[in-house]
Amino acid sequence: MAATATATATATLPVAPVMKEEIPASQLWNSNRTRTTRGKADELYLGYERWLPAAPKVKKPRSIYNAASLAYLGDGIYELYARRHFLFPPKSIDVYNERVMAIVRCEAQDALLKKLMNEDYLTEEERDILRWGKNIASGKTRTKKRAGMQVYSRASSLETLIGFLYLTDVKRLEDLMRRLGFSAGAPPPDHIMEEVGSQRPE
């Protein structure tokens, strides 16, 4: 009887999952992040095609959110790209903060938006989102005073567009951010600040 019970208990035990061998982070950094499939290059980050958290499914963000809400979201997404960009090669926390702070300032965002506009890269819908986001009212008087109302408004419009694309088209967002220079395989990070002509904070 005991033998039968033991056999039954053993038979019902779940099969242990086969664990894949973990890859050290250093190996991921040094691995080839670009693979070619049928002549097309797929950008990978740490071996994965997707690195942003999945966005909620929203078909028409403008019917649900106002421009300020999308700019608030876009601000966080933009900073996430900036932090990822400057993460490698490894630096001290102070250097990370210095570089990220320089590129998330509205003056830098304004310069990057001008770069996009000069290249005639944006679609008509995206330009419409920029116009919508440009009219955001905000109480950030210190930032407005430092950079000026026009610079602040243009920076807000870029954040609005980033928030909109995050909710509607992540691939387009990734392409836009790569065009601005935020990419795992981009040239040395300092090139962004050189392009926009922004000065690092004192």
* Domains of the chain as residue ranges with CATH: 52-196 (1.10.1520.10)
How far apart CA 92 and CA 97 sit, in angstroms, is 9
Q: What is the mean pLDDT of the chain?
A: 75
Where is average pLDDT lowest: 53-57, 98-102, 125-129, 159-163? 53-57
pLDDT at res. 200: 46
* pLDDT score of 37 more than 50: no
* Nearest to 35, CA basis, from 23, 21, 25, 49: 49
pTM: 0.69
Give the residue, 201 or 132, on which the prediction is more confident. 132
* Nearest to 200, CA basis, from 119, 116, 99, 128: 99
Tokens read off for 151: 């610079």
* pLDDT score of 183 more than 80: no
State the pLDDT confidence band at 132, using cuts at 50, 70 and 90. Answer: very high
pLDDT at res. 35: 37
* pLDDT score of 7 more than 70: no
Task: Examine the residue annotation and report whether 120 is marked as an active-site residue of this protein.
Answer: no
* pLDDT score of 1 more than 80: no
* 173 and 165 Cβ atoms separated by less than 8 Å: yes
Average pLDDT rounded to a whole number, residues 21-41? 38
| Active-site annotation holder among 75, 94, 110, 120 | 75
For the segment 75-116, what is each residue's pLDDT rounded down to a tens digit? 999 999 999 888 878 889 999 999 899 999 999 999 999 989
